[in-house]
Structure 1
C-alpha cells in the first residue's frame, strides 16, 4: 500500500492516457494519491479527478511562479473549494526564486494570504520551495503556520533545515531526486527524518526517479522512491510503505 502525496494527474502531459496511468498506479500498489491544483486551469481538474476515484484526493492552491496572476476573487474561490469533501489541503504554495515571472514581494504576499486562508479553513498546507528556504521559514514562523502544519513538498534542501521544519509541525516529503546517483542531500535527509514524519511522492509528470530519469514521471513510480528510502533506512519496503501511508492519512485526515 503506497500513498503518492503529490501528483499532477491534472497536467496536460496526461491528457491522452490519464485513466491508464491511474490504473497502472493502482496495479503497482499505489492505493492513495493527492492531485494538486495550482492555478485556474488545474484546480477544477484536480477536484474532478478526485471525484472519480474513491482513494484519490485533491489539494487546491496557487503556485508562487504565477503569484502575479492571482486575484482576490481567486482566493475567495479557493476558500469555497476548500469545503469540498475531497479537498484535503491548501497548496501548493510558497516561494520560487528560480523563475522571475512573479516579483518576490508579490510571491510573499500571496504566500501569506494562503497560509491565513488555510488557518481559517483548518487545512494543512503544501509548500513549494525553490531557492527560497530562509524566506519560507521566516514567513511560516511569522504566520504561525505551526497551528495547521503541512508538508515540505519534494524536499531537496540541506539536512540542517529538517529539524526547523519538524518543529513547525511539518512533514518531509521525498520524491524522485532521492534515487538520483548524483544527489547526496535527499539521501541524507531520507536517513535522518523520523519515520513518523516522512512522506513519499512523485510530483509527476516531473522528476521521474532512476532508472526513468528524463522521462515522463507517473504515480506508479512512487514505488521506486519507496524502495530507495527503505534501502537507505535499512527497513523493509512493506514497513516503509505502511508508515508513510499512515503518516499521509494522518496529515490529510483521511480515514483508511
Structure 2
C-alpha cells in the first residue's frame, strides 16, 4: 500500500522514524510527503535522505499558508526546477478555502495566478500535481490545471459536488480518500462512485480524525484502515482495493516497483 499524502517531517511528528517503521510493518511500501513552503520542502528532503525509496518527496507551496511571500513562491519554483529529477510531484499547491483571508477576492485572484505558475512548472518538468482545492475551489482549480495542460494530478482531501467530481474523473485525474471514508457519509458516497482506477488512499497526517480514529495520532499505518473501509463500501476485498490504490499511485507518481 502507498500513503499518497502525509506531512511526515519532524515539525509535524514527534517521532517520524517510529511512524515510518510502524507503517512499513503494516504493509505500507511508500509514503508521498508533500512540502508546503520553503522550510517545509527542505525538511522533506532531509527525511528523504534517511529513507530513500520509502519517503517520496514533493515540493509545494500551500495556498493557505498566508505568511508565505511572492519571494517564497519563486524560491519553491526554483527548487522544483533544481530538484525535478529527485521529486515525485509538485505539491501541495492549490487554492485557498479555509480562513478569513481565503474569502478576500484579491487573495483568490493572486492564488489563481500562483497555481497557474505551479501547474505550468509541472507540465514543463513532466511532474504530477498534488492539489488542495476543497469544496467550490475544486472546479476553479480544475479549469486552471486543464488550461495549463496538466495531464497528471490528484485532488487530495476532495470535498466538492458530484458534477465537479465527475469532471475531474473525466479529465483523467485522481481523487484521494482519507480516513474520513470510514465514518463520513460524504466520503463514503465518494468511495462508491469513483472508478477503481481513479482512487488513491491518503492519511493527510498529522490531521486528526473522528470516528474510530478519535484520539489517535494520524500515521501512515492507518492506510490499512482506509483501504479496508473502501473495500467494505464497494463490497469487494481488501486485497483488490490495496492493489488498485497502489497501482494508481504508482502510475500517477511513476513509482517503480
TM-score by length of 1: 0.90
CA deviation after TM superposition for structure 1 residue 251, in Å: 0.9
Q: Distance in 2 between matches of 1:243 and 1:138?
A: 27
SS in 2 for 1:34: strand
Contact 2:134 2:158 in 1 (8 A): no
Which residues in structure 2 correspond to 1:32-51 (within 5 Å)?
Answer: 32-51=30-49
Q: Distance in 2 between matches of 1:121 and 1:141?
A: 16
Q: Distance in 1 between matches of 2:153 and 2:208?
A: 21
Q: Distance in 1 between matches of 2:193 and 2:10?
A: 32
Which residues in structure 2 correspond to 1:149-228 (within 5 Å)?
Answer: 149-180=152-183, 183-208=184-209, 210-228=211-229
Contact 1:60 1:82 in 2 (8 A): no
Contact 1:209 1:225 in 2 (8 A): no
Contact 1:39 1:61 in 2 (8 A): yes
Deviations 1:34-61 (A, max 9, x none): 1111111211121222222232211111
Contact 2:134 2:160 in 1 (8 A): no
Which residues in structure 2 correspond to 1:23-38 (within 5 Å)?
Answer: 23-38=21-36
* Bigger strand fraction: 1
Partner of 1:252: 253
SS in 2 for 1:97: coil
Partner of 1:4: 3
Q: Which moved more, 1:125-134 or 1:227-236?
A: 125-134
Closer/same/farther in 2, CA of residues 11 and 184 from structure 1, 3 Å limit: farther
Partner of 2:143: 138
Q: Distance in 2 between matches of 1:154 and 1:215?
A: 19
Closer/same/farther in 2, CA of residues 56 and 34 from structure 1, 3 Å limit: same
- 5+ unaligned residues in a row in structure 2: which ranges? none
Partner of 2:64: 65
SS in 2 for 1:93: strand
RMSD: 1.7
TM-score by length of 2: 0.90
CA deviation after TM superposition for structure 1 residue 19, in Å: 0.6
